[in-house]
Amino acid sequence: MTDEEFISLLDAMGAEIARWPAPLQIQAAALLERSAKARANLKAMRDVEELLALSAPPFDAAAMAARASQAGQAGRSIMTPALRKVSFAAAGVIALAAGILVGITPPSDASIIGSVQMALNGGTGDVW
């Protein structure tokens, strides 16, 4: 295994070498013994994955449930300007979907919803 092959595997499978296929684990271990470049790249990937594993942001479930259900019951989205454009598109989708989605699983029929939403959104996004 070369340094380049090892680095490609790192990018493809991540730094947890124990989860790589067994033959590759053996080759990687041998490479790491002799290659400082391989060790440096492994350390960098481990740093990335360790930092990504750090804590989650706080979340108030009760407050969120109250706000979202009120908004849903009112038939509107509560969005600040940063997301308002998306909200308008969503409102249009919901309105149209009321006629389209009867008897259809809403989230899985991406082709129909996507077409509607693309038209509403100027083709910029895939909200559903």
Partner 1 sequence: MGETDDALVLQVARGDRLAFARLVERHGARLKALATRIAGNRAVAEEIVQETFTRAWVTAPNWRHKGDGARAFSAWLTRVATNLAIDQLRRPRNLPIEDAPEPVDPASDAVEALIARERLSRLRAALARLPPRQRAAIALTYDQGLSNIEGAAALQTSVGAFELLLVRARRALRVAMMEDEA
Residues 37 to 76 in contact with partner 1, rule: CB under 8 A: 40-41, 44-45, 47-57, 59, 61-62, 64-69, 71-73, 75
Minimum Å distance from CB 53 to partner 1? Answer: 7
Residue written as token pair 């083709």? 123
Q: Which residues neighbour 16 within 8 Å (Cβ) at sequence distance 6 or greater?
A: 49
**Which position among 23, 108, 122, 123 is part of the footprint of partner 1 (CB under 8 A)?**
108
Q: How many C-beta neighbours within 10 Å does residue 93 have?
A: 22
Residues lying near partner 1 in the complex (CB under 8 A) = 7, 10-12, 14, 40-41, 44-45, 47-57, 59, 61-62, 64-69, 71-73, 75, 77-80, 82-83, 85-87, 90, 94, 97, 101-108, 110, 124-128
